[in-house]
Amino acid sequence: MAARAIVVVFSSLILALVAGGASAQLSTGFYSDSCPDMLTAVRSALHPAIARERRVGASIVRLFFHDCFVQGCDASLLLDDASGFQGEKNATPNKNSARGFEVIDAVKAAVEKACPGVVSCADVLAIAAEESVVFLGGPSWEVKMGRRDSTTASFNGANNDIPPPTSGLANLTSLFAAKGLSQKDMVALSGAHTIGLARCTNFRDHIYNDTDIDAGFAKSRQPNCPPSAGSGDDNLAPLDLQTPTVFENNYYKNLVQKRALLHSDQELFNGGGADAQVREYVGSQDAFFRDFVTGMIKMGDVAPLTGSNGQIRKNCMRIN
């Protein structure tokens, strides 16, 4: 009997070890023993940066999205181009656009100081995104961790998998579905556009050529975004016209008034299948926060490297 019990315990141990390898799951307490001060370290670098410039909180939330949509949440986005290595930073959706990298590097440096070689850049980005949302007034959630960092990046993946602002509802839905996210997740996650700014090149067509836009709003955006391509391309406007540094449900209120800055945003309220969900979030910020959190957790689960795959980068900008 004793021998049999030992065999059972032993085989369970082997099973647990195997499961802990390549297919390990993310978990909320992942660093509770190996880096108990991680959150304090993250906040020590992140909070002053967002307090200095609130927009960078928005930029970090977007970095997490652009990381997870390209070969999973593996910090591939954070890798710099190097000789013989093409990263994602200069792909179309990121070039002259993705920002906040220096803040992620500062957060990683603070975490390295607390626990050298333990916490991945992919997890630093995941927790920094959640902490940014909270800092700007949005919901908090328990972030699952245990991701490891890639040794590769995908320039083509960044160009093909991240939705462009010219997308229609069907295209947005299918690009999210390709990452295992539903249309409901997509509509809730798009609420991140309640914070941050966009460049004229990304909303020019919408404010000059689209008809599903409030005329007064379109006019008000035009002086700072000249009609001809190449002039004022990088001029900025808020994605949420009232409060681009506060995380609430104003984004959806803009959509029902046809005051979305991006064509893709207005697609969520355009007489199609997402209208009811947009109206729900106009009526209930709690419902938006609940579904946004669900979406962020699901997005954080996209194809992570776990177990012995990948590495824990020392410096997020390059592989070890």
Asked about 66 being catalytic, the answer comes back as: yes
Phi, psi values for residue 199, rounded to 5°: -90, 145
Phi, psi values for residue 297, rounded to 5°: -70, -40
- Cα distance between residue 60 and residue 186, in whole Å: 18
- Residue 170: partners with Cβ closer than 8 Å, 6 or more residues away: none
Residues that bind ligand HEM (CB under 6 A): 55, 58-59, 61-62, 65, 97, 99, 163-165, 167, 172, 186, 189-190, 192-193, 195-199, 202, 239, 262, 264
CB of 134 to ligand HEM, least distance (A): 14
Q: CA of 299: how far to CAs of 23, 68, 93, 294, in Å?
A: 17, 7, 18, 9
CB of 50 to ligand HEM, least distance (A): 12
Q: What is the DSSP string of 159-185?
A: HHHSPPTT--HHHHHHHHHTTT--HHH
CB of 150 to ligand HEM, least distance (A): 20
Q: Residue 119 carries which DSSP code? A: S
- If one counts every other C-beta atom within 10 angstroms of the C-beta of residue 91, the result is 24
Looking at beta carbons only, is 112 or 130 nearer to ligand HEM? 130
CB of 54 to ligand HEM, least distance (A): 10
Among 66, 193, 206, 263, which one carries the catalytic annotation? Answer: 66
What residues act catalytically?
66
